[in-house]
Amino acid sequence: MLPLLQLGSLPSLPALLVGLLAIAVVLLVGRLVMKVAWRLVIIAIIAVAVLWILGILGFQFI
């Protein structure tokens, strides 16, 4: 229990606010990047499925 009491005080409120804002920006940018990544994955799945179906029908692309 003694080590928990020796942690010291919290950082100042402006520093805490800046840290929270930085985390919010990182999460927002990550959300936007993941949104684009999901769209690319879905487009790739559709493209591969179309090529696979055309391959079954006898068309050769590769």
H/E stretch holding 23 reads helix 13-56
Residue reference for tokens 């005080």 = 9
The pLDDT score that the predictor gives to residue 13 is 85
Please say whether the beta carbons of 17 and 23 come within 8 A. Answer: no
What are the DSSP E strand ranges found in 19-60? Answer: none
**Predicted model pTM:** 0.61
Gap between the Cα atoms of 24 and 32, Å rounded: 12
Gap between the Cα atoms of 36 and 58, Å rounded: 33
The predicted-structure confidence for 1-41, as pLDDT tens digits, reads as follows 445 445 556 678 888 899 999 999 999 999 999 999 999 99
Please say whether the beta carbons of 53 and 61 come within 8 A. Answer: no
